[in-house]
Amino acid sequence: MTATKTLTKQTQQVSETRRILRFLISEMWPKGPLLTPFNIISIPTIMLGIGILAVRFIYGLGSVTNLNQHYPWGLWIGFDVVTGVAFAGGAYVITFAVYVMGLEKYHPIVRATVLNGLLAYVFYAGALVLDLGRPWNVINPIIGNSFGYNSVLFLVSWHFMLYMLTELLEFSPAIAEWLDLKRARKILNGLTLGAVIFGVTLSSLHQSGLGALFLMAKPKIHPLWYTEFIPVLFLASSIYSGLSMVIVEGTISHRVFSNQLDPKKHHQFDEMLLGLGKGAAVAMFVYYFFKVLVFVHDRQWNLLYSGWGAWYLFEVVGCVLVPCMMYAYAYRTRRVGLLRIAAVWALLGILLNRLNISIIAFNWYLPVRYYPSWQEYVVTATVVFTEIWVFRWIVLRMPVLREAHELPQAAKVTVRVTA
């Protein structure tokens, strides 16, 4: 009797595995038109980028980048890693707001935000490998080959790895729903709150940890940008950076994937954007105060009377205070268009801040400057385009923007066929 039961169970498991495999194969086919403007631009760029990366891994960094002993970190670190991780801050902010603070209003955007964060970490933080002179050593922090307990990069690498797994766990109920695995979905849903709390803890530490990487470069960074509070500033700015990214990415997603959404939710979405803008305005104001306080604390008045001073004021006043006021005004007057402009402006401000610290104001006294090569730009575009391709592939298949019950019944149909 027991042997029969075991055999039946094994048969069911084999049948289930076959069902999932068939479903996965059926989902591999492209959905939607192939000849879109985005595809026409992105496919050649990605192919060229892959070719450049092949040259980079065969002949080394010097063959495709303008990096040198004075500028060991360039565009791939400054944009992909340092800026990309700040842009991905929306995931920890939104999950904290929804699951910990109970702001259910933002629940419909949680999955898209978490997916965006997960992919940003996989691709942008993954781009760290491209910039390693000996990329095979990337495994060292994990396998314990010379653990660098005193190294900030050791902390950052572990945090990146753990946070990617945490975000995968936060997103996994959507995968279970897609595969129609009800029991797995129930278990994974139960783990969400724990994953969120762990994820927020990790995020607050590695967002500031990325800033801490630059503490060791005190003599190299212009005094207007160097401060011992860089980690605090990185963490504070990641909050509004993440919120701004959610506004921009959400706006684009709602236009591109409008067929995925219930029309009744379009109005709710504008309300959500306004709420996010309000949060971003408060976060930017606090960040602006931190910047002013650090500036006054370090007594840097005389440094303002130079080109660097003007550039600094442009970043702090023009790209923090101005979008902050735009956010506040847009919220009060319910101008969603203005809110979107403020979000893009705030993101440009974050980009400028991260590039200033990592590239522009780095080694500012040297006569020879670093300018990224065209190959570096192409590889950066490749990373961004590939992330968008994966994001689109997932959104078109899994319940990210739509509810689980609105899913096409492909999985269930396959069950019937298999049966």
Is residue 333 a contact point for other proteins (CB under 8 A)?
yes
The angle that helices 265-297 and 230-256 make with each other, rounded to 10 degrees, is: 160
Stretch that binds other proteins, among 9-17, 32-40, 328-336, 361-369 (CB under 8 A): 328-336
Q: With contact defined as beta carbons under 8 Å apart, do 141 and 148 qualify? A: yes
Is residue 338 a contact point for other proteins (CB under 8 A)?
no
Is residue 322 a contact point for other proteins (CB under 8 A)?
no
Candidate list 293, 317, 413, 417; residue touching other proteins; CB under 8 A: 293
Q: What amino acid is encoded at 199 in this protein?
A: G
**Nearest residue (CB) to other proteins, 217 versus 292:** 292
Candidate list 122, 213, 328, 357; residue touching other proteins; CB under 8 A: 328
Minimum separation from the CB atom of position 335 to other proteins (A): 7
In eight-state DSSP terms, residue 209 is H
Residues constituting the chain: 419
Is residue 7 a contact point for other proteins (CB under 8 A)?
no
Minimum separation from the CB atom of position 407 to other proteins (A): 35
Minimum separation from the CB atom of position 360 to other proteins (A): 27
CA–CA distance, 402 with 235 (Å, rounded to integer)? 31
**Nearest residue (CB) to other proteins, 292 versus 348:** 292
Is residue 269 a contact point for other proteins (CB under 8 A)?
no
> Count residues contacting other proteins (CB under 8 A)?
18
Q: Where are the alpha helices (DSSP H) in 89-130?
A: 90-95, 110-120
Minimum separation from the CB atom of position 339 to other proteins (A): 12
Stretch that binds other proteins, among 98-106, 116-124, 219-227, 286-294 (CB under 8 A): 286-294
For residue 293, which of 349, 348, 228, 211 has the smallest C-alpha distance? 228
CA diameter of the chain: 89
Candidate list 309, 335, 363, 415; residue touching other proteins; CB under 8 A: 335
Candidate list 22, 107, 265, 278; residue touching other proteins; CB under 8 A: 278
What distances in angstroms separate CA 11 from CA 14, 19, 173, 180, 181, one per listed residue? 5, 12, 26, 18, 17
CA–CA distance, 158 with 75 (Å, rounded to integer)? 23
Q: Counting beta carbons within 10 angstroms of the beta carbon of residue 325, is it exposed (0 to 12), middle (13 to 18) or buried (19 or more)? A: middle
